[in-house]
Chain A
Amino acid sequence: QPVLTQPPSASASLGASVTLTCTLSSGYSNYKVDWYQQRPGKGPRFVMRVGTGGIVGSKGDGIPDRFSVLGSGLNRYLTIKNIQEEDESDYHCGADHGSGSNFVVVFGGGTKLTVL
């Protein structure tokens, strides 16, 4: 099964842009990844799914246009433009693997985004 690796922290100034990275382990370059936002003390919120061709399906409810995704090789990126205070959150990536009795959902360790 794939391993998803995320940097533990990132920071950006108010109004700036930031790109968060989720890296799939070798051999899983065709996998789609789901991005989730988790504000302090809250449950995760689906942002969007990304594959090598970009967004897959629709954004989550209420996700602003400032959020976008790209996929390249083993990396799946979430870019936030014009960062706002409300974007300060933990961002998690997740992916499905396998089918039937071998099905699993795996998550990365999460990236804590600080808005300066």
Chain B
Amino acid sequence: QITLKESGPTLVKPTQTLTLTCTFSGFSLSTSGVGVGWIRQPPGKALEWLALIYWDDDKRYSPSLKSRLTITKDTSKNQVVLTMTNMDPVDTATYYCAHRLGPTQFDYWGQGTLVTVSS
């Protein structure tokens, strides 16, 4: 059974750096083809893809946010970490991590974590 859970601060101040951790079980990020992605959703708005990391450390970023994002993995801990610099109130959203196998869909998602950016 594949499960993912996001964790991190619920409140960050403008200009600060956000660090989110996705802790998963039921699969390994050392298995060929496996990937974990991050997607966010501002309150009442659409989903927005942020980043994706694969088992071989191949990384993909949203072009509009690439300069602010870093995605890394710790295979031994079954974790993927996303950092986003220079946070702004418009970055207030629920942040989700999700499992992906190769060029297929995000088939398992976490419950999400709400991050509010406010001074």
Contacts and interface: CB of A to CB of B under 8 A. Distances in A.
Interface stretch (B13-21, B42-50, B68-76, B78-86): B42-50
B49 A107 contact: yes
A92 B60 contact: no
A43 B111 contact: yes
Interface stretch (A13-21, A23-31, A44-52, A77-85): A44-52
A104 B64 CA distance: 10
Contact of A107 (B47, B104, B107, B109): B47
Given A103-B60, A104-B63, A107-B46, A42 B107 contact: no
Contacts of A42: 111
Given A57-B104, A107-B46, A110-B46, A45 B109 contact: yes
Nearest to A35: B105
Interface centre among B39, B47, B60, B106 (most CB of A within 10 A): B47
A54 interface: no
A40 to B, nearest CB: 12
A34 interface: yes
Contacts of B49: 94, 104-107
A43 B109 contact: yes
Interface of B is mostly: strand
Contacts, number: 55
A44 to B, nearest CB: 5
Nearest to B108: A46
A107 B48 contact: yes
**The 10 residue pairs across chains A and B that have the minimum distance between CB atoms:** A105-B49, A107-B47, A34-B105, A43-B109, A46-B107, A109-B46, A103-B60, A43-B112, A43-B111, A44-B109
29 contacts: A34-B105, A34-B106, A36-B47, A43-B109, A44-B39, A44-B47, A45-B109, A46-B105, A46-B106, A46-B108, A46-B109, A49-B104, A57-B104, A60-B107, A92-B46, A92-B47, A94-B105, A94-B106, A101-B60, A104-B60, A104-B62, A104-B63, A105-B37, A106-B49, A107-B39, A107-B48, A107-B49, A108-B46, A110-B47
Interface of A: 34, 36, 42-46, 49, 57, 60, 92, 94, 96, 101, 103-110
